[in-house]
Structure 1
Amino acid sequence: MRNLEIVWSPSLWGLRVRSALTAGAVVAVVVLLGAVVMLSLLYRSLYGSVDSAALARITEITGQLRTTTPDELNPMLLTATSHIEAVQILDSTGMIVRYSAAAPERPLTTVPAAGAVTGLSVQGNSDLRVTARTVHGAAGVFTVLAAVSAEPVEDALEDVALGLALSGPIVVLAAAAATYALVGHSLSSVEAIRARVAGIGTSALSQRVPVPATRDEIARLATTMNEMLARIEAGHTAQRRFLADASHELRSPLATLVAGLELAHLHPDTVDEALIGSMLLPEAERMQKLIDDLLTLAAVDDHGLTLRTAEIDLDDVAATVVALTRRTGTKEVIARLEPVRLVGDAGALTRVMRNLIDNASTHARSTVTVTVTLNADDITAQVVIEDDGPGIPDADRLRVFDRFVRLQDDRARSSGGTGLGLAIVAEIVAAHHGTVAIGRSPLGGARLSVVLPLCPHRAHA
């Protein structure tokens, strides 16, 4: 039953079979139309050739009849040749006055009224074609009939038709077979790609599919597949690195908390406020911040960052973070804040300010400057955070926005960073359709510049 269903359901046929049948059908139609046109042209050409021979003989005879009588005609004009089968001359009453030796004793066909007529049929002999012309001569009105044989023409047409009938199916079958083979050859490349993709697992993402040498759609498909595999491999590698880095970052504060709890359990008298405030609570806060950052980045990777936008005063957001930093930090924070009102997520932009100012405070020697201004274009605002620390080398200014990236020297792990702050800044700024860049500050350290549109939706449109 399954085989019968396949046979009677063209949609279940393979691509090779459908392509071969389609090509065969198209070629069959073309061959049939070509055969009809060829036979029609050949018919007109061959019959026109034999009719021309008859008309030429009649022209010679009528030319003499204009000045002479039928009895005075040149006998050679009434002689049958390889082209002319019979010649008759009829008077105005339809009686035969002269005829060739092979001509019958009765008129070959009905005498036309006037003019020249070709292709007349002969009663009882379908192999003859008659051409007739009426002429007004010196001896009266005469009609000249010349008969030619149509048999050679019919034989030629039959031979050509037979040849087309025999060669047509061969051409159709050859076209179908060639299409079947060519499509099969093309699909072999697709099958090679499919087989390679089927064998690629998560542990072998470095493999790539073979790219055919031909510059066709299949080659472009293979190239696209390799680009997709490269993206999947990069994402998988980044995910594994992310998990490894997250585990590494969580291990240290968790180990500290476990050690502190074990100490409290075994020696309760040794646990005091100093131990809790200097070791346990900072490590717990560090782990809480790290988990919060990880959840934020996971949400970004999953469905993008969700913003709760409203009109906010960016200078007030910056002022709040600056005031908190001044109370808890040891570095001088200089604020230059112009009134700027924009549409954004207050909580997310507060986090941007806090991450940038905390980062600058961590690496500054003594001074951090925070500037909020409205740009000259009146459609964007700019936030600039500068410090007098060691700065960021040019080669690392893009890399620092990756996750778990910490530079050496002053920006090592001992400073307390997890390498996620600037990554979160980049995600939040991008969600607001803004940009963030790093340069060299006149103070000597890093200069982080954030440009935000006053209306993100209008800027994005």
Structure 2
Amino acid sequence: MTPGTGERARRELRAVRVRATVIAVLAVALALVAGGVALVFGLRTELSNDVRDAARDRAGEVARVIEAGRGVSTLAVSADDEEFLQVVAEDGTVVAASDNVEGRPALARLAPGGSTTVETDLDEDKFLVVAVGAKDGDRDLTVLDGRAPSGVAEATWTVTRLLLIGVPVLLVLAAAATWAAVGRTLRRVARAEAAQRRFVSDASHELRSPVAAVRQHAEVALAHPERADPDALAGTVREEAVRMQRLVDDLLLLARADESALAATRRPVDVDDLVLEEARSLRSGTDLAIDSTGVGAARVIGDSEALRRLVRNLGENAARHARARVAFALTDTGDGQVRLTVEDDGPGVPPADRKRVFDRFVRLDESRARGAGGAGLGLAIVAEVAAAHRGRAEVGEGDLGGARFVVTLPSAGE
């Protein structure tokens, strides 16, 4: 990735981050405002209904006293500036009233069961007035109970004030959370894109080398046919073709890993058979001492071909670096895990390189030679296959003095 491309990608990701944050904040703001308005109006309506119900109950009590024939000489209210009572005849004459409206005409003209709001000098707020009918002998009376909804306004304003403070705070928190979450997501995307670019670049480089070698030998043979050795040319072409085929196979396997397609075919696999097969292959192809006495029976559920590639890559890696000896060990630990160990007596892996050795196209300094180090994908495939089977791959120092690679997989019982 060139500096210009990287800077452009960062600007694009930042623009996406800003847009996502703005959209999220606007959506949250819309939801909070709509919810806040609904809350305030709902609260106001509920509290107003409570005031109306209290006024109707009080007026009903007065009406029952009148109908019981006890009359009403005085009407008591809870607070002079928050409530009044009047008993009004059909002609509008006030028959009785609370002390705070004594001597005043009817403050409202209502039929029984009705309600309205009126202005008085008792309070700055309009009074909510409720009418209840009553019978006093042959007379039809109306009991008016008026109440100041000051508590409604106070409670509504308190909630509104809290919303005016809380909504901006929630928006700031939503913006910060969205910014952070989108940033983490985009960082993963940016890292994945950079890794993909590096992967493509490294793969192109690795494929370019054998193609260039074949082309070079072919051009020399065409330019100087009298000096060309057909057997040598065929051997070179075959060697480079095998190398390209191996590289392409590795790249295809890693592509399947990237698409989570490894271990798609799952069936019981006897890993000990795969390990013993690899041990026999190394004995027939190398002069190394191959120790497989530590291989016990172990079975996992997975893709047999992917697991065979894992075992082969570990064996070939150990044989490439071993001085004289390679040791295989396999055991079912009894706690739901199968542990495969491959050791060699080579130079080992320095502690600083023990994590990155499983990265793609990573070759340590002593393995960079074209004939010895391969493309740097073998151990990456080991890690990918292990992860696809819900396992893990690790490297440390072995008892033979070299590297010890350990792959842990769930056993078939799990």
Please report the TM-score for the alignment, with normalisation by the length of structure 2.
Answer: 0.68
2:355 aligned residue: 398
**Is residue 2:40 matched to residue 1:27?**
yes
Distance 1:392 1:31 in 2: 73
2:296 aligned residue: 338
* 2:366 alignment partner, one of 391, 396, 409: 409
Over residues 404-438 of structure 1, what are the superposed CA-to-partner deviations in whole Å (9 max), with x where a residue is unaligned? 11111356555232110011111111222222211
Secondary structure of the equivalent of 1:335?
Answer: strand
Over residues 47-98 of structure 1, what are the superposed CA-to-partner deviations in whole Å (9 max), with x where a residue is unaligned? x9xx9xxxxxxxxxxxxxxxxxxxxxxxxxxxxxxxxxxxxxxxxxxxxxxx
- Change over 3 Å in CA distance of 1:364–1:153 after alignment to 2: farther
Secondary structure of the equivalent of 2:364?
Answer: coil
**Is residue 2:316 matched to residue 1:374?**
no
The Cα of 1:396 is off from its aligned counterpart by 1.3
The Cα of 1:129 is off from its aligned counterpart by 0.9
- Change over 3 Å in CA distance of 1:262–1:164 after alignment to 2: farther
Is there any run of 5+ residues in structure 1 with no aligned partner, and where? 1-13, 52-108, 132-145, 190-213
**Is residue 2:397 matched to residue 1:434?**
no
Distance 1:237 1:354 in 2: 30
Distance 2:41 2:300 in 1: 71
What is the correspondence of 1:33-432 to structure 2 with a 5 Å cutoff? Answer: 33-35=46-48, 37-38=50-51, 126-129=93-96, 149=102, 151=104, 154=107, 158-159=119-120, 160=123, 163=126, 214=172, 216-269=173-226, 270-277=228-235, 279-336=236-293, 337-377=295-335, 379-410=336-367, 413=370, 415-432=372-389
Distance 1:222 1:333 in 2: 56
Distance 2:52 2:303 in 1: 81
Over residues 119-157 of structure 1, what are the superposed CA-to-partner deviations in whole Å (9 max), with x where a residue is unaligned? 6766866223189xxxxxxxxxxxxxx9x9362894996
1:363–1:387 CA contact under 8 A, matched in 2: yes
Distance 1:288 1:115 in 2: 111
Distance 1:419 1:38 in 2: 81
1:20–1:176 CA contact under 8 A, matched in 2: no
- Change over 3 Å in CA distance of 1:153–1:25 after alignment to 2: farther
The Cα of 1:259 is off from its aligned counterpart by 1.2
Distance 1:326 1:407 in 2: 26
1:390–1:410 CA contact under 8 A, matched in 2: no
2:43–2:156 CA contact under 8 A, matched in 1: no
The Cα of 1:403 is off from its aligned counterpart by 0.5
The Cα of 1:43 is off from its aligned counterpart by 9.2
Is there any run of 5+ residues in structure 2 with no aligned partner, and where? 1-26, 76-86, 109-116, 129-148
Secondary structure of the equivalent of 1:151?
Answer: coil
Secondary structure of the equivalent of 1:422?
Answer: helix
- Change over 3 Å in CA distance of 1:116–1:309 after alignment to 2: closer
Distance 1:244 1:19 in 2: 49
2:363–2:373 CA contact under 8 A, matched in 1: no
Distance 1:368 1:245 in 2: 30
Secondary structure of the equivalent of 1:451?
Answer: strand
- Change over 3 Å in CA distance of 1:20–1:287 after alignment to 2: closer
- Change over 3 Å in CA distance of 1:291–1:25 after alignment to 2: closer
Distance 2:297 2:97 in 1: 109
Distance 2:202 2:373 in 1: 15
Distance 1:309 1:125 in 2: 93
1:24–1:175 CA contact under 8 A, matched in 2: no
If you compute each CA radius of gyration, which structure gives the higher value, 1 or 2?
A: 1
Distance 1:327 1:35 in 2: 95
Secondary structure of the equivalent of 1:235?
Answer: helix
1:338–1:373 CA contact under 8 A, matched in 2: yes
Please report the TM-score for the alignment, with normalisation by the length of structure 1.
Answer: 0.61
Distance 2:165 2:372 in 1: 68
Over residues 272-319 of structure 1, what are the superposed CA-to-partner deviations in whole Å (9 max), with x where a residue is unaligned? 323433x33222211111111011111211243144333333222122
| Counterpart residue identity of residue 126, structure 2 | G
RMSD: 4.4
Distance 1:36 1:247 in 2: 77
Distance 1:130 1:437 in 2: 93
- Change over 3 Å in CA distance of 1:429–1:150 after alignment to 2: farther
1:128–1:150 CA contact under 8 A, matched in 2: no
Over residues 355-395 of structure 1, what are the superposed CA-to-partner deviations in whole Å (9 max), with x where a residue is unaligned? 01110111111211122233243x43322111111101112
Secondary structure of the equivalent of 1:370?
Answer: strand
Distance 1:312 1:123 in 2: 99
Over residues 343-363 of structure 1, what are the superposed CA-to-partner deviations in whole Å (9 max), with x where a residue is unaligned? 332222221111011101111
Over residues 210-238 of structure 1, what are the superposed CA-to-partner deviations in whole Å (9 max), with x where a residue is unaligned? xxxx4x23321111000011001100110
